[in-house]
Amino acid sequence: MHELIKFVPLFPLIGFLVLGLFGKYLKKEALIGAIGSGTVFGSFVISLLIFFDFAAAHHEKPILVPVYKWIETGVLNINISYQVDQLSILFSLIVTGVGFLIHVYSIGYMHGDRSYYRFFAYLNLFIFMMLNLVLADNLLLTFLGWEGVGLCSYLLIGFWYDRKFEGYKITWTGDAGNKAFIVNRIGDFGFIIAMFLIYNEFNSLQYTQVSNLAAEATMQYFGSGTITAITLLMFLGCTGKSAQIPLAIWLPDAMAGPTPVSALIHAATMVTAGIYLVARNSVLFALSPFSMEIVAIVGIATAFFAATIGLVQNDIKKVLAYSTVSQLGYMFAALGVGAFTAGVFHVMTHAFFKGLLFLGAGSVIHGMHEEQNIKNMGGLKSYMPVTYKTFFVATLAISGIPFFSGFFSKDEILWMAFSNGNVFLWLIGAIAAFFTAFYMFRLLKLTFHGKERFDAHHVHPHESPKVMTIPLIILALLSAIGGFLGIPYALGFWFSHQPNLLETWLHPVFSQAQAILHRTEGHQVHSIEYILMLVSVAIAITAILLAKRFYSDEKWSVPKALAGKFKPVYNLLFNKYSLDEVYYAFIGTPVFKLSQSFLWKIFDVKIIDGFVNGLADVTVSTGERIRRIQTGVAQNYALLMIGGIIIIIAWLVLSY
Amino acid sequence: MVALFITLFLPLAGSLFLLLLNKDKPKLIKYIAFGFSFVTFVVSLFLLFFFNQDNPDFQLKFEAVWIPSIDAGFRIGLDGMSMLLLLLTTFISTITILSSFGAIEKREKEYYVMILLLQFAMTGVFISLDLLLFFVFWELILIPMYFIIGIWGGKDRIYAAVKFFIFTAVGSLFMLVAIVWLGFYTGTYILHNAAGFTTNFFVLKSALLSHPIPIEVQRWLFICFALSFCIKVPLFPFHTWLPDAHTEAPTPGSVVLAGVLLKMGTYGLVRFNLELFPQASLEFAPYIAVLAVIGIIYGALVSMVQTDVKRLVAFSSVSHLGFVVLGIFSMTVEGLQGAIIQMVNHGLTTGMLFLCVGMIYERRHTRDISEFGGLARVLPAFTVFFGIAMLGSVGLPGLNGFIGEYLTLFGAFRSPVLGSQWYTIVSATGVIFAAIYLLWMFQRVMYGTINNPKNENLKDLNKREWLTLVPIVILIVWIGVYPNSFLKISENSTRALVKKMELAKSGINGKYNLNASNAYKK
C-alpha cells in the first residue's frame, strides 16, 4: 500500500502539466476546475488509504519508497525517494485535504478570470511541490519542494501582474512576489549551507540516517558547535519560509495574491514548512540546547510582535496575515521548548481555522466587490450568513474558546512553554493570546456587526455561491472539532489512558528527540495546569468582551481616544515597526548605491577599463615617440649603433 | 571516429559551399546553412553510441601527420568533458543559425559563411589533442567572431570588436610562448625525440606525469595558460570585454558567445592547466578561487544596477562562470562535475536569455528596461519561455542551474585543496543576488501594465521562434530533473583527473622532490 505514495505527488503534477500545456484550449471553467481539484482529491484519497494501512499495520519505523536516482556523482548519491511515516502522512493529509477544499472554493472565487487555467495550473504545481517537501526522505528533495513552493508563491502573489499593490517600495503585485521570493532566498542560503554541513558530518542527507547517526552519538554531538551551526542555519531557512523575525516582512505583502492563495499557501500549508523542517530534524535540534532556546525566543517574540501589529490594521487580509505570523510564532515556541507534538498539532488546527478565516475573508471581498478595508464594511452578517457563521466559528477557535480546536492546541503550547520553558515564555505567549482574541473580535465586529458603512447604492454585498460556502462549512466543522485529536491528558485522563491521539500517533517520530531531551511524556496531572488553563480562558474572554465594548460603539470613541493618547505607540504599530524601511536604509539602498556608483561606474569602467585603455594609450604614444628615431639619416643610425656597442662592451667588461 | 571527423568538418564544408552560392538568394543560403548545422548536430548525437562512458580515457581518436619537424599532428579525440561540450556546441550552433533568420538582415551570405566557420573552429577547440592544433583553432575563432560583432553588431560594434579581439589575442600570446617552451622542454629533455619538440597532448601528459616540470617554471607556464583562459572565461578582473562584446554583438553572436565561446576558457583550464601543471594548479587554486568568488558576487551586484537588459544578462555571465571556475579549482569530483554541467547549463540558460532579449529587441529595437513593462499581456507564450530561462538562471531546483550550482558549491565546501568553507559560504550569497537582479528585471520588463504605446501591438512568438526555444526548454528541464544522463558521460574522466590531482598533491608533500630530481639535469 505504501508504494502508492508515489502517486500522491504525481497526480497534481499531471494536473499541472495538463492545465499548463493544454489549459488554453480547455474552454470550460468547470472542466478546468474539475481537473485541478480532482487531482488533489485523488492524492487526498491515496493519502487516506496509506494512513489507514499504516495505522492498521502499527508500523513504528518509516518506510522509504525510492522512485529514481536523481544526482549521482562523486560521493553524492541523492534519490528522488519518499518517506512514509507518521509525520509525512499527517502533513500530506493536511496539504491534500485542506488543499482540495481550497481548490474547490477557487472554482467559484476565480470565476470569470481570464487566466483561469493558469491559476489552477499554479495551484496544482504548488500542491506537487508541497508534497515533495513533506514526503521527501532527504534534505535535498525537501529543498526542491521548499524552493518550488516558493516559486509558486511568487507566481501566485503576482498572479494579477497588472494590478497595483500598496507597500513599501512596492508598486505592483509582482513586486510583492519578488519580495517574497528574495526574502525566502536569504533563508534558503542558510538551508543550503546547513545541508553542506550535515553532509560533512554524517555523509548523508537522508533524514533517517542523519537522525539515527546523531542519536547514536548523543554524547559526542550534544551541544557541539557543528550541530548548533547546522540547526541555526536551518532555522534561518525556517524564518524565511515561515515568516519569523527577522525575515517576517514578506508575508503581509504576499496578500497581493488572490485570496485562495493566501488561504492555501500563506496560511494553511507553505508557511508551516518551517515547522515541518524543525520537527523532521527534531533530533538535531534536541542536540543543541542553544538553538532550541533561539527557536523558542524567536517564536514567542514573533508571536508577540505580530499580534501587536494586528491590533491596528484595517485591511482584512493584513490582519489575518499578521495573525498568521503570530500563530506561526507560537508553533516555533512549542518546538523550541521541545513540545514537537504541540507545534505540529497547532499546524493542523491552524490550517483549519486560518484557512477558513482567509476563505471567509475572500468571500467577504468577493461579496463586497474587492473592498478590503474593514472600516468600510460593517453589518455584513445579514447579507452573508454562511460566511458569517463559519467565520465566527474560526474566530472562536483562534481565540482559544474552550473545546474549539485552537483552544486545545494553543493551550498545550502555553502549558509546555510554562512547564518546559519558563514563566516569561508563558507570560509573553499569554499576552499575545490576549491580543489575538482582541484583534480577531475587532475584525469580526467591524466586518459583520454594527452599522453598514459602505455605500449601499454602489455596493451590493451578497453571499457567495455554494461551491465556495461548502468548503467553508467543512472547514468550520474541522475548526470546531479538530482539537479533539489532541485532548491533553489533564482533561482526558478520566476516559482514556492515552487521550491525546495525535501524541500517540506521532510518538515514534519524536521519541529519539524526546529521549535526548530526557522528556518522558508527562502523564501526571498538575493542578497548575488547570489554573493556567482557566487563566487563558479568562484572558480570551476578557479580550473578547473588551473588543465588543470598544467596537459596539459606532463611533469607536475608546479606541480612537487610546490611539490619540498613545500616538507614538499607535504609529509604531500601524507602520509595522518600520522594519521594511530599516532594512532598506541599512542594507538594500547602500548595497545598491555601492554597486551602481562604485563597482560599476568606477571600478569597472574607470579602474579596469581605464587601466586597459591606458595601456593602449601608452603603447600608442610610446610608438609615436620612438617613431622619431627613424629619421632616415644613415649617420644617426651609425651613431646609435656605436653607442649601443659601447654600452654592451662596458656591460660585459664591468660584469667580469 | 568517422562521425567525429564529420562533426568537425561538415560545418567547414558548409562554409565553403556557401561561398560558391549567389548572394542574392539569402533564403536558400539560410536553409543550407541550417541544414549543414542540423545534420552536424544529428551526427554528433551518434557519437554517443560510439562513446564508452566507462572509459575515462580519450576515445574515437584520430591522428594524422601535420608538421613532423616539430612533432605537431592533427590529433583529435574525445573524453567525457569534451563529449558534453561538443554536443553543446553542435546544439547551440544549430539554434544560433535558426535564430539568425530573424536577427540578420544584411549580407546574409558572408554571415552564414562566418557562423559555420565559427562552428568548425569551436568544435576543433574541444576535440584537439595537440597543443598547436588547439592553438590554431583557438585563434581561428577570433576571425569570424570579430567580423560577426564588427559587421552585424550594434552602434559601438567596432569598439567592442576590437576590444574583444585584443583582450583575447593578448592572452593567446602568452599561451603560445608557453606552448613553445613546453614543447621544447618535453621534446628535448624528457623524450629526446628527433624533433626535439612536441605538441602531442598525450605524450606531454604522460611525460610530465613521470617527470614533473620544476615548480618554479611550472608556475610561469600555469600563469601563461591561465591568463589566456581566464580572459576568455572571463574571470574577474578580466571581464570588461564581455559586456561590450555581448551588448554590441547581434543576438546570434551573443548566443554563441555565451553558449560556447566562454566555455573554451573553462575547458582550457581543466584540460591544460589541471592536466599539465597539477602542482602549480594546486598552489594557485586558492587564489583563482578567490577571484571566482569575487566574480560571483561582483557580477551579480553590477548586474543588478544595469539598465540595458542585454548588459544585465552579460554581467550575470560573470557571476555564473564564477561558479564554474570555483568548481574546477575545488578539484573534487563533485565540484568538477558541477563545473562541467554548469558549463552546459550556462550555455543553455544564458543562451536562451540572450535569445529572448533578442526577440524583444527585434520587435522594439531597444533593450532599455525602462522602455518595457507589461509585456506579459501581449506576449503570453514568450513570457513562459523567458520566465523558464530566468528561473533556470536563478538556480531553481528542478531546473538545470541548480544542479550545477549545488555541485560546485558542494565540491568547494569539501575541497581539501581550498581547505576552507568560506569560499562556498560567500559564493552562496550570490544565489540571493541572482534572484534579485533577475526577478527585478523580469518584473520591470514583463509585469505591470503597458505604459508605452509602442508595446501595445507586439506579436507573440512565431513558429520559428517556438522551434528555437522549445528544444532548449526541454534540456533545461531534463538536466534539472534527471541530471544523471549528463553527469554519467563525464563521471569517469573526471574521476581519473581528480585521482591524478590527488597524486600530485601527495607529491607536493614529498613523493616527488620537484626541485632536486627534475628532468633538467638528465
Which of B15, B85, B11, B489 is CA-nearest to residue B261? B85
Q: What is the ipTM of this complex?
A: 0.92
In chain B, positions 424-443, which contact chain A (CB-CB < 8 Å)? Answer: 424-425, 428-429, 431-432, 435-436, 439-440, 443
- Considering the domain architecture, whether residues B3 and B151 belong to the same structural domain is answered as yes
User: CA-to-CA distance for B272 and B132, rounded, in angstroms?
Assistant: 13
| Cβ density class B4-29: b for 16+ within 10 Å, e for less | bebbbebbbebbeebeebeeeebeeb
Answer for the pair B385, B468: CB distance below 8 angstroms, yes or no: no
Q: How far is CA B476 from CA A9, A330, B40, in A?
A: 21, 41, 22
Instruction: Please list every residue in chain B whose beta carbon sits closer than 8 Å to the beta carbon of residue A76.
Output: 334, 407, 410
Q: A–B: how many Cβ contacts below 8 A?
A: 130
* Residue bearing cell 574577474: B236
Q: Which residues of A touch B494 (CB under 8 A)?
A: 73
Q: Where are the domains of chain A?
A: 1-281, 288-573, 580-655
Q: Does B166 touch chain A (CB under 8 A)?
A: yes
The answer to whether residues A296 and A425 touch, using CB atoms and an 8 Å cutoff, is yes
Same domain, B5 and B78: yes
Predicted model pTM: 0.93
Quick count: other Cβ atoms within 10 Å of Cβ B470? 11
The domain containing residue B40 runs over which residues? 1-234+250-276
Q: Alpha-carbon dihedral of residues A597, A598, A601, A604, nearest 10 degrees?
A: -160
Instruction: Judge whether A22 is closer than 8 Å to chain B, CB to CB.
Output: no
Q: Any CB–CB contact under 8 A between B376 and chain A?
A: yes
Cα B267 from Cα B85, distance rounded (Å)? 9
Eight-class DSSP state of B331? T
Residues of chain B neighbouring A185 (CB-CB closer than 8 A): 431-432, 435
Same domain, B359 and B455: yes
Pairing between strand B59-67 and B72-78?
antiparallel
Placement of cell 599539465 in the chain: B276
Cell of A564: 490619540
> What is the Cα–Cα distance from B232 to B115, expressed in whole angstroms?
19
Q: Could you tell me if residue B2 is inside a domain?
A: yes
Q: Are B16 and B62 in a shared domain?
A: yes
Q: Say whether both B299 and B254 belong to one domain.
A: no
Residue B74 is assigned to a structural domain of this protein = yes
Give the CA diameter of chain B.
Answer: 78
- Interface check for A172 against chain B (CB to CB < 8 A): the answer is yes
Asked whether residue B257 falls in the same domain as residue B295, the answer is no
- The radius of gyration of chain A's CA atoms, rounded to the nearest angstrom, is 31
Which residues in B lie closer than 8 A to residue A172 (C-beta atoms)? Answer: 443, 447-448
How many folded domains does chain B comprise? 2
In-domain check, residue B242: no
Q: Which residues of B touch A157 (CB under 8 A)?
A: none
Same-domain pairing of B11 and B38: yes
HEC string of A23-58 equals HHHCCCHHHHHHHHHHHHHHHHHHHHHHHHHHHHCC
Report which of B349, B301, B294 is spatially closest to residue B326, judged by C-alpha positions: B294
Same domain membership, residue B108 and residue B129? yes
From CA A20, how far away is CA A32, in angstroms rounded?
Answer: 11
Residue B205: inside a domain: yes
Residue contact B302–A604, C-beta within 8 A = yes
Q: DSSP 3-state assignment of B360?
A: helix
What value, to the nearest 5°, has the Cα angle with vertex A101 and ends A499 and A279?
45
Residue B419 within a domain: yes
**Are B253 and B152 spatial neighbours (Cβ–Cβ below 8 Å)?**
yes
Q: Describe chain B by its helix, strand, coil percentages, rounded to 5.
A: 80, 5, 20
Residue-by-residue pLDDT tens, chain B, 522 positions: 788 889 999 999 999 999 998 888 888 899 999 999 999 999 999 999 989 888 888 888 888 888 888 888 899 999 999 999 999 999 999 999 999 988 888 888 899 999 999 999 999 999 999 999 999 999 999 999 999 998 898 888 898 888 888 888 888 999 999 999 999 888 888 888 888 888 888 888 888 888 888 888 899 999 999 999 999 989 988 888 899 899 999 999 999 999 999 999 999 999 999 999 988 999 999 999 999 999 999 999 999 999 999 999 999 999 999 999 999 999 999 999 999 999 999 999 999 999 999 999 988 888 889 889 889 989 999 999 999 999 999 999 999 999 999 999 999 999 988 888 999 999 999 989 999 999 999 999 999 888 888 888 888 999 999 999 999 999 999 999 999 999 999 999 999 999 888 888 876 544 444 443 343 333
Contact B470, B422 (CB under 8 A): no
Mean pLDDT (chain A, rounded): 90
> What is the rounded CA–CA span in Å between residue A20 and residue A608?
47
* Count of all residues that appear for chain A in the document: 656
Is the domain of B463 the same as that of B506?
A: yes
Chain A, 575 to 614: residues with Cβ < 8 Å from chain B are 591-592, 594-596, 599-600, 604, 608-609, 612
Q: Answer yes or no: are the C-beta atoms of B343 and B266 closer than 8 Å.
A: yes
Residue A399, beta-bridge partner list? none
- Residue B489 inside a domain? The answer is yes
Q: B77, B200 in Cβ contact below 8 A?
A: no
The answer to whether B319 and B300 have CB atoms below 8 angstroms apart is yes
The position carrying cell 555564473 is B320
Cα→Cα distances B441→A78, A177, A178, A198, A561, Å:
33, 13, 10, 35, 46
- CB hemisphere CA count around A396 (13 angstroms): 17
Please list the residues that pair with B308 across neighbouring strands.
Answer: B368
In a domain, B346, yes or no: yes
B272 and B284 in a single domain? The answer is no
The span from the first CA to the last CA of chain A, in angstroms, equals 94
Residue B243 lies in a domain: no
